[in-house]
Structure 1
Amino acid sequence: MTRGLSLWLDALRVAATLIVVFSHVAYARFTRGDYQFARDLNIGSDAVIVFFVISGLVIAFAAERDKTLGTYTFNRVTRLLSVLLPALVLTFVLDQIGRPMDASAYPDRFYQPLPLWEMLARGLTMSNEWGLFERVRLGTNGPLWSLSYEAAFYVLFGVAVFMSGLRRGVLLAGLAIVFGPRILLLMPAWLMGVAVWHFVKSGGAARMGTEPARLLAWGGPLAYVLCQAMNVPDTLAQLTADAFAPGHYRFVLVFSDEFVWNNVIGLFTALHVIGMARLVQGYQGSHPHLRWWAGASFSIYVVHYPVLHLIDAAFPAETLARDALLFFGSVGAGLVFAQIFERPIAGVRAAARAIAGRAGLSGRPRNQRHPQATLLPEMPAPRQ
């Protein structure tokens, strides 16, 4: 992973996070419909697919660094739970504060009351969107749906890479049943990120000429804009609706309702990252401010929505000043949260190893090195 590519992925992560926040602020119930274009274009959902591609790339890179299933599992679990646990508690607390202020700020579509024990049980297992279980919304924190997908991707990838033979096949089949088809429909976008990492690692990006790299780097975003201008997402959604008729496809697919378009976005993102990997391969800048923002992107994502609801309940008068408060207040809350919970990940992992050591468990598993992954593509998947 070159410094240039790492920085660019950070920039994409920050941009995608802020787009998600803005797309939620743009709901008419928050801001009168003044920013309805963001809802009409559904840019927040599209930004989540950018997250998936980045995640696939980074996790593929991290798995090679981790080398063992135990280390891979430890790093993924501590990364997720160190942020998710306090985010769930914060969501519950903010919902309990805000709903008595103004119940209309917590409409049924966007709020599902759960006792704290159930919110933690479903949230910490990240099973709230898995097909084998009943779907639930974790209070007001709707964006946590994507963590159900991410966790499933991590598990499937870990099994595919670190296991082999019959055990791998049986586990993958069983897990596919547990996670359900909705999860699997968006996994191609995540695997495109894995494919990008293998392409970059093998020197494919470095061997590209400057002009082809520029074509990919600019072509991905421009193709996305062109598709939006030509109403491609709506066309694909109609085709999906026809395929599921007479049933309602959104009721069946929920957050995977645009899976065809989402995987097209994954392809555009993958091609863009490949081009940028070549263009920034020699870059040696540091940009600590960008790193700082990227280090809070996860926190902003997991806490901004309950904060939006609380602001909506506490400040019902709809003004431009409140619009700014909704956006900057929710982002600011995420920055504070990150300072407390996300940035000290090294200390969290050290403490977890110490506790495991006292319990007689190994904090650094001694599994054999995993074999070279053979199920994962070495080149980006071609556009169908």
Structure 2
Amino acid sequence: MNNQAGGAHAHVLDTARDPSLDPSFSLYLDAARGLAALAVVVAHFGYFRILDDAQIARLPDFGREAVIAFFVLSGFVIAYSVRHKHRSLADYAAARAARLYSVVLPVLLLAFALATLVRHATGLPVSDAYELGKPWLYIPFHLAFQGDTWGFAERPPWLLPYWSLDYEAWYYVLFGCWHFLAGRRRWLAAGAVLLLVGPRLWLLLPVWLSGVALYRWQQGHVLGRTVARAGWLATVVLVALWGWCDPEPWLRGVAQQWWPFAGIRMGSADRVLADYPVALLVWVNFACARHAGFGIVLARLARPIRFLAAHTFTLYLSHALVIGVWQTLLPIERGSAHEIVAIAVAIALTALALNPLTEVLRKRLLRGFEGMLARAPALRTP
């Protein structure tokens, strides 16, 4: 998968190093990630009321399902990376931090700068404007991915998708502790991380770990092409039925009733009972796609798939910023075709403009983190 940013939003899988991951499967995962990013954007066109009610009714909302697919992909990619790329905790930590912050840092700073400028220049209300009064507190807070730990439910201005990074970043930390440490140190470090992040992040951890399990499972299992295609088609049909029936609101109510921590809001984890079956469908879909023989079709679309995959992280994180600025400064005629197209073009141009910057920043951050961690020889022990 592509090499632009962190977790499920990045990495080209080196099929030469891992024969079980052939080029067609790598392309499939890139396509899945690109489509998931587009699904989130479309879902937010409904969430932010850019589409009218009739359009929202016609378009199934797969935004949350797309994020769950990202989580499964993230676990898969991280399991691959520690097998073939990052053989020490220092290498792993430097790579993960550089991937995340290469996109998070410029987009987060841009969000705070634009929100502050708009608020002071126009006097218009800005979402989460209270954070603008204390950027010295909230910018480091968000860079530490604390927005969903324990009782917090904080988002940066105009960056609604940031919540998933608050989960994913800590799953990187937890996995790194467990994979690279041993004995008592492993248990103490993993326990400390779990205690630090709180119960909401515990709930979606099995979803992320299912991606790790998928990578390890497919190392030793092969499906016949007929079975793989039938399984793949079944998961597509079941996902479509899931979107049509939409059991999520009922399951969310059940989850909130069962939530044992009265003083802590469920926040972004309140859909957990729906997330588990969706994660299972994604898991089976990926497992079947590996052996379904989609290579010829995917090879013909390789260039657009790789191009879209290269921009998924910037697209995922920055699109809500574009929507937030647009909604604040300009009145939106809901459902207007020309406004939908104009906002979509603005989102695409923003992602395209940010992408070269984030790649340069990633390389510089990687060198910086590697140099810093080189001073800790214990972290460089395989």
TM-score normalized with structure 1 length: 0.83
Change (3 A) 1:114 1:147: farther
- CA displacement, residues 239-283 of structure 1 (integer Å, 9 cap, x when unaligned): 2244349969xx721101110111111110010000001124866
Task: State how 1:1-384 maps to structure 2 within 5 Å.
Answer: 1-27=21-47, 29-37=49-57, 42-65=61-84, 66-100=86-120, 106-107=126-127, 113=132, 115-131=134-150, 134-202=152-220, 204=221, 207-244=222-259, 252-280=265-293, 285=299, 287-318=302-333, 319-342=336-359, 345-346=362-363, 348-350=365-367, 352-353=369-370, 356=372, 361=375, 366-368=380-382
CA distance in 2, matches of 1:150, 1:28: 24
1:186 Cα deviation after fit: 0.8
CA distance in 1, matches of 2:343, 2:130: 18
- CA displacement, residues 58-95 of structure 1 (integer Å, 9 cap, x when unaligned): 01101112111111111101111111111111111221
1:362 Cα deviation after fit: 7.1
In the alignment, what sits opposite 2:11? none
Is the 8 Å Cα contact of residues 314 and 351 (structure 2) preserved in structure 1? yes
**Please, what is the CA RMSD of the aligned residues?**
2.9
Is the 8 Å Cα contact of residues 114 and 138 (structure 1) preserved in structure 2? no
Question: Which amino acid in 2 is paired with 1:197?
Answer: Y
Aligned length: 357
CA distance in 2, matches of 1:364, 1:94: 42
Task: Please state whether the residue corresponding to 2:177 is helix, strand or coil.
Answer: helix
CA distance in 1, matches of 2:53, 2:125: 16
Is the 8 Å Cα contact of residues 178 and 186 (structure 2) preserved in structure 1? yes
Change (3 A) 1:176 1:344: closer
Is the 8 Å Cα contact of residues 57 and 195 (structure 1) preserved in structure 2? yes
Change (3 A) 1:348 1:113: closer
Q: Which piece of structure 1 moves more, 281-290 or 223-232?
A: 281-290
Question: Which amino acid in 1 is paired with 2:147?
Answer: N
CA distance in 1, matches of 2:360, 2:37: 17
TM-score normalized with structure 2 length: 0.84
Percent of aligned pairs with the same amino acid: 25
